[in-house]
Amino acid sequence: MITVNKAQGENRSLCSRRSYPREVVLKVLHDSYDHPTAYTVYERARAIKPDISRGTVYRNLKLLEEKNEILMLETGGRFAHYDGHTEEHSHFVCRGCGRIEDIFEEPSVPELFAARGMEVLKTQCVYYGLCESCAKRKNEKR
């Protein structure tokens, strides 16, 4: 069972107005490594706070993403996915099964940005392909 400390905790984020529902959404995302959709976040949040509404979850996801406390991943599928782990990393999206995997290699920023006077503040690198399982299945069909 997941528990959330309602009192001010050590992982307080930067949102100006804190709320228990927002803490629940953050807790769900910090405990998730499968990059859930908004609806999955809602379902998991209900396990902690059964009366939380879908609208509350969706509004908090939007706010947290705007405040850079979570990442929203648009992977080319029907739904956005969310990542509560904001440290610099890339993602690999399997086009076969849809699995999203974290890649903790710092993406390189091309030097041409600096040569053109541009300053890169944030990168979001997503690789697309087939995971090991899907690649094996594809090769077995040949």
pLDDT digits (tens, 9 = 90+) for 20-42: 999 999 999 999 999 999 999 99
Residue range(s) defining the domain that contains residue 65:
20-73
The answer to whether the beta carbons of residues 103 and 89 sit under 8 Å apart is: yes
Residue 97 sits in the same domain as residue 134: yes
Question: Is 10 within a domain?
Answer: no
Which of the residue ranges 28-42, 100-114, 115-129 has the most confident prediction, judged by mean pLDDT? Answer: 28-42
Q: How far apart are CA 34 and CA 102, in angstroms?
A: 9
pTM for this prediction: 0.77
From residue 82, alpha-carbon distances to 6, 134, 135 in Å are 23, 23, 25
CB 56 within 8 Å of CB 74: no
> Is residue 33 assigned to a domain?
yes
3-state secondary structure of 62: helix
Q: What is the spatial distance between Cα 13 and Cα 26, in angstroms, rounded to a whole number?
A: 9
61 and 92 co-located in one domain: no
